[in-house]
Amino acid sequence: MKIRIATRKSALALWQAEHVAAILKSIPAITDITLVPLSTRGDEILDRSLQKIGGKGLFIKELEVAMQNGDADLAVHSMKDLPADLPDGFCVAATLQRANHRDALVAAPATTIASLPENARIGSSSLRRQAQIKMIRPDLRIEALRGNVNTRLAKLDNGDYDAIILAAAGLERLQLQQHISQQFSVDEMLPAAAQGVLGIECPESNTELRSILKQLDDPVTLQTTTAERTIARVLQANCQSPVAAFAAVDGKTLNLSALVAFPDGSRFLKDSIRGDATNAEQLGASLANRLIDNGARELLDSIEALHD
């Protein structure tokens, strides 16, 4: 079988696609693999916030169109960028073993969130990160930051910001971990649902390909990803909503925490649940519904109204 992998053109997206290609090459049924690099609307529009142009789904639309048109067979995504509900006809065929789930502060060596000067400028376009930074340091100024990893690092070097927040996994994949000055614990900053996880999307109808891709599934990561993404789905949160979720499996038990917060950190709801890891989706739904009962839907609606 010949496989064509649709991918964005950024260095990180290409690394992710090449990483999956290297794994697939070890499967005897696959005879040839080629990458199909594509430019997406999310990559092209950098002067407006994702909330205003349609969310992170803009990073995957062109990849799905390529699969629909028969120009590609599958796409590799950071699972945190993939909407909780996929378009009809598509599925996540494999969830790879999770890499580092943490958020990272990128600043001068040895700088921590606590040691930053008062009113320091922090680069981040994530409302989830903004809310949790404000919960730690209300004085810090959060300023918009878009672009690929190297573009963001260049803006920091240029003095546009005192520090920026990025996913540790992306920096490590690009061998840029030397820029990390602090990694946040999940107690300090809950990550986005499925942060650090790579997923493979393909047409639901391609059962032969789905059967092959299933070999790449990591069972524990599938459980934690299912639980975390269920939180986002039940809350009807999009990829830019200030919603965080993190699950970890300990033996047969899954521990799941979630947060919904106002972007300025002034209001937040945080809760956790634990149970049988084989009931990951049910645990995620239960926790999300508990948050809704405590006012999460109203909080999210008020945030969406602010950004309309």
CATH of the domain at 261: 3.30.160.40
Residue 169 shares a structural domain with residue 247:
no
What pLDDT score was predicted for residue 254?
Answer: 98
Q: Which residues pair with 33 in a beta bridge?
A: 3
Examine the pLDDT at 53 and tell me if it is beyond 50: no
**Within a domain: 189:** no
More confident residue, 247 or 52: 247
Question: ∠ CA 131-136-140 to the nearest 5 degrees?
Answer: 75
Q: Is 231 left (phi over 0), alpha (psi -120 to 50) or beta?
A: alpha
Question: Is 252 within a domain?
Answer: yes
Is there a single domain that holds both residue 224 and residue 308?
yes
Domain that holds residue 140: 103-183
Query: Is 188 contained in some domain?
Result: no
pLDDT digits (tens, 9 = 90+) for 110-139: 999 999 999 999 999 999 999 999 999 999
Kindly state whether residues 231 and 278 are assigned to the same domain. yes
**Same domain for 305 and 250?**
yes
Chain mean pLDDT for the chain: 93
pLDDT of 6 reads 97
Does one domain contain both 203 and 267? no
Place of tokens 């789904």: 57
Element housing 220 (H / E): helix 219-235
Cβ-in-10-Å burial (0-12, 13-18, 19+) of 121 comes to: middle
Is 209 inside any structural domain? yes
**pLDDT (tens digit per residue) in 17-41:** 999 999 999 999 999 999 999 987 6
Token representation of residue 54:
């349609």
pLDDT over 70 at 243, yes or no: yes
Share of the chain above pLDDT 70, in %: 93
Degrees to nearest 5, angle at CA 46 with 40 and 49: 105
Please give the tally of structural domains in the chain.
3
pLDDT on residue 58: 67
> Do 211 and 65 belong together in one domain?
yes
Question: In terms of Cα–Cα distance, which of 121, 202, 194, 196 is closest to 166?
Answer: 196
80 has a pLDDT exceeding 90 = yes
Same-domain pairing of 50 and 165: no
**What pLDDT, on the 0 to 100 scale, is given for residue 308?**
60
Same domain, 154 and 226: no
- Between CA 215 and CA 200 the distance in angstroms is 12
Q: Please identify, among 157, 183, 209, the residue that sits at the C-terminal boundary of a domain.
A: 183
**Which tokens belong to 218?**
């990591």
pLDDT at 238: 76
- Using pLDDT thresholds of 50, 70 and 90, give the confidence band for residue 57: low
Whether 190 is in a domain gets the answer: no
Does residue 51 carry a pLDDT above 90? no
Q: And the tokens for 277? A: 């890891």
In a domain, 299, yes or no: yes
Between CA 287 and CA 167 the distance in angstroms is 25
Same domain flag for 233 and 293 = yes
Statement: residue 49 has pLDDT above 80: no
* Same domain (yes/no): 167, 242: no
Q: pLDDT at residue 59 above 80?
A: no
Across the range 251-271, mean pLDDT stands at 96
Domain annotation covers residue 8: yes
Which pLDDT value is given to residue 241? 86
Q: How far is CA 81 from the centre of its chain?
A: 5
pLDDT tens readout for residues 178-225: 999 999 999 999 999 999 999 999 999 999 999 999 999 999 999 999
Contact 235, 101 (CB under 8 A): no
Kindly state whether residues 203 and 91 are assigned to the same domain: yes
Catalytic residues: 81
The H-or-E segment that residue 292 falls in is helix 280-293
Task: Report if residue 243 sits inside a domain.
Answer: yes
Residue 252: Cβ within 10 Å count: 9
Residue 88 shares a structural domain with residue 15: yes
Helices in 25-75 by DSSP H: which ranges? Answer: 41-44, 50-53, 61-68
Residues 162, 151: Cα–Cα separation, whole Å: 15
CB within 8 Å of 161: residues ≥ 6 apart = 121, 122, 123, 143, 145, 155
Q: Domain holding 173: CATH number?
A: 3.40.190.10
Measured at the CA of 36, the angle between CA 98 and CA 63, to 5 degrees, comes to 65
Q: Which residue has the tokens 């979630």?
A: 258
* H/E run at residue 91: strand 90-95
- Confidence at 69, pLDDT banded by 50, 70, 90: very high
pLDDT confidence bin for 306, thresholds 50/70/90:
confident
Region of 110 please: left (phi>0), alpha (psi -120 to 50) or beta.
Answer: left
